[in-house]
Chains A and B, each alone.
Chain A
């Protein structure tokens, strides 16, 4: 296939917007629509756009992620956050939250659900891309 200049140029901008929006969605999740699952899917969709419009090799050089490792890290993060509450004598996966005064951000709510959600996010991105890329790379 001939490389399409228009597709490439637009993809560069659009992918950036999608990825930024996915990060926003991820953080917005606690109070607005969004969250780890949706954010993860959005990131995966953005990255997929890159893979589809450019070729696999180029993107692999640009974003050298190992998605298997990403799944493992995500799983560990999700399971690990659950364990923390056990040290305080609460049930597994009890989440905590409180409000803090942070510089720049002002009063901010910090929750243990966030790292848990980050774990979910990583697993979703990893799973989506790993399965799709594995099938795509299969040339037999």
Chain B
């Protein structure tokens, strides 16, 4: 175990301590203790930067379940480190922000909040640093769980619970599909290690499982990163406290899907399907998100749809970037990796400007008590600092120079225009769609930025609509967005600070083997490219975006604007209803509440399964060679046994019935004695004894035994089932004997007889098997017994009336 493993596990360890800190150190806000951790980790990750930017990677191993190829392998490269820095950096700011946002130490359950937050942080670090697909998957699901818990933080609100359930159902089912994809990758390559899979990428591409694996993995990535049509969970996730929205639902967790796509681009990127699916879904999500954002009335909902659309943008860029595998980069120059460069750069930019905007919205909500743009307005004069930060963030998001959003938006246009010049995968005909959709989506992006900003900060202040007296936020709430906004400006003015330190190593992780050995990607980001198509596109975006915004009033009454909810929610809500009612129907079919029915089900299943198998493989055989001599004792025993059994159904008195059953049990015990199995005989005797007492007690509570009238049909069914069971068991036993005679194999008992004394120091092999060779089975069996006993106690002592909510 190396320091890196500890770093990933550190948040989980701290999460254990949080409740104690919350309980015993009440005078200090728990957030202050929590904040130390992401900050320390951020500094720790920063010191990797020089090595990583030289193109080195770090790999640490820790065996976990080596026999299944599951190891806790940590791998640090450009891509992982970029995410690590985002998670810890933004994490620090978010925790600081949350201290002031959830300022009421007594009313807020801070211990829950910080435990979930730390759990998320650790899980997210695990996702981005795992080299093993299985560990990645486990951490991936933990992020879904933490996210869902955080959305439901104010669980007394119905909307919070709805949002939490929705996000959980969508992301976890996606994650489950992803697990299937990972398993298929394992089937193809025989390893879970991402780097080893990448090494075999050109071999597996022809495998018939390649496309299913890709689709499954993409289902995981798309659900997590809120791509159309799975994006519907993200707007409802906005019920979470704003620090959570800023952290999980814009800066980090929703980018896990982006991470996965980027990470596995070297594996799948060579396939045309990958190119089309990733870029197609991405660009459509971009459009859908930006058009939906414009009709929202809630500031956070606007930001949610804006996040969806920006995630689509990054996804589309990653898809377009995968085309680089088909070109000789040395020959065509930077053209085909511009898309990947833009994706990485926009990833960073989006985290900065969207993070700051979410925090601003949180501040507005906190200070005015509402996020409804119909009630807000004119906050510019009252909250000048907030206004400034919001201005920087909004302009960056809208793609206006000199902020970082402009740079990545320009690069996005370049990449989209490049797509038209590609001569692969039918791009000659369909490629033109990319710049067109990109341009239209950008117009809407510009419009909703204007809308959001002007309705909040410009116009007339409407104090009569607000419940609170409005003033500037406390400094603690302002510091985090100010830091992020400063980064927006710094990255906008000096983008090349990032170029070779982090962007280039990240590109090298996404597009390995594209360059010749020792070469590096050429990364130079600057504002002025001359009067080219991209610049005219941007000018067009500003003009048309402003026009759309100015005409919004006219359209405000249109039905399109009145329906805020995404139409796809209808599908989700209804399928949930159908799922529940369908499950109830299926369950009611078999859960009749009659023990008799259950018994019939079980018997029919066994008879069916065994009978089918035996008929299918035609293994009926009777072979009476080598049978032991049947002694007269056995004859007597068996005859008495049969007589008692036949007699049993005709007994009408309960005590006699118990005694008769007891006789059968004791006779079987005697049979065991004859066959020299003292342990079995002893157990059987004792069980019979205890059972008789139990029966007597149970029967004491039962009414008088009455003859029941049964229909002939019922009797016939019972007859068939019981004959079937008897027949199958007998035939199985006889066939098994014949089989073992025809195919001499060493019985497993030989092994135990040979080794029980040497390996376990016991002469009684039955007991040695119980406690040593098969100890786990025994342990689980007694566990089942224990649960059953406790179940009896609960059933009898609890005495529920049927109205309790269990």
Contact = CB atoms under 8 A, between A and B. Distances in A.
Interface string A117-140: 101100110111011101110101
10 contacts: A29-B771, A30-B761, A37-B683, A41-B683, A75-B782, A111-B761, A113-B772, A117-B771, A131-B793, A138-B796
A126 B786 contact: yes
Interface string A82-108: 100000000011010110000000000
A49 B796 CA distance: 23
Interface stretch (B146-154, B306-314, B595-603, B691-699): B691-699
Interface in B735-777: 760-764, 766-768, 770-772, 775-776
For the complex of A and B, the 5 pairs showing the least CB-CB separation, nearest first, are A97-B761, A41-B686, A31-B763, A35-B767, A127-B789
Given A37-B683, A95-B772, A120-B771, A132 B690 contact: yes
Chain A interface secondary structure, helix, strand, loop or mixed?
helix
Contacts of B576: none
Contacts of A42: 686
Nearest to A96: B761
Contacts of A98: 761
A19 interface: no
A23 interface: no
A52 B763 CA distance: 37
Interface centre among B687, B779, B793 (most CB of A within 10 A): B779
B771 A45 contact: no
B797 to A, nearest CB: 7
Contacts of A93: 775-776, 779
B694 A135 contact: yes
B651 interface: no
B701 interface: yes
A52 B697 CA distance: 10
Nearest to A75: B786
A140 B766 CA distance: 42
A130 B792 contact: yes
Given A32-B764, A45-B686, A134 B786 contact: no
Contacts of B689: 45, 48
Nearest to A114: B771
Contacts of B770: 35-37, 117, 120
B763 A132 contact: no
A53 to B, nearest CB: 12
Interface residues of A, number: 49
Interface of B: 678-679, 682-683, 686-687, 689-690, 693-694, 697-698, 701, 760-764, 766-768, 770-772, 775-776, 778-779, 782-783, 785-786, 788-790, 792-793, 796-797, 799
A35 B797 contact: no
Interface of A: 25, 29-38, 41-42, 44-45, 48, 52, 68, 71, 74-75, 78-79, 82, 92-93, 95, 97-98, 109, 111, 113, 116-117, 119-120, 123-124, 126-128, 130-132, 134-136, 138, 140
Contacts of B793: 68, 130-131, 134
Chain B interface secondary structure, helix, strand, loop or mixed?
helix
Contacts of B789: 71, 126-127, 130-131
A135 B796 contact: yes
B792 A124 contact: no
A48 B690 CA distance: 8
Nearest to B783: A75
A136 B698 CA distance: 8
A65 B687 CA distance: 22
A32 B782 contact: no
Contacts of A123: 782, 785-786
B720 to A, nearest CB: 34
Contacts of A116: 771, 775, 779
B771 A113 contact: yes
Given A130-B789, A132-B693, A34 B764 contact: yes
Nearest to A22: B686
Nearest to B770: A35
B523 to A, nearest CB: 49
A80 to B, nearest CB: 11
Given A79-B779, A92-B776, A30 B762 contact: yes
A32 B682 CA distance: 12
Nearest to B784: A127
Contact of A113 (B683, B694, B762, B788): B762
A66 B681 CA distance: 30
A3 to B, nearest CB: 19
B683 A38 contact: yes
Contacts of B682: 25, 33-34, 38
Contact of A97 (B760, B763, B788, B790): B760
Contact of B785 (A36, A79, A124, A140): A124
A128 B771 contact: no
A41 B690 contact: yes
B473 to A, nearest CB: 52
A70 B289 CA distance: 61
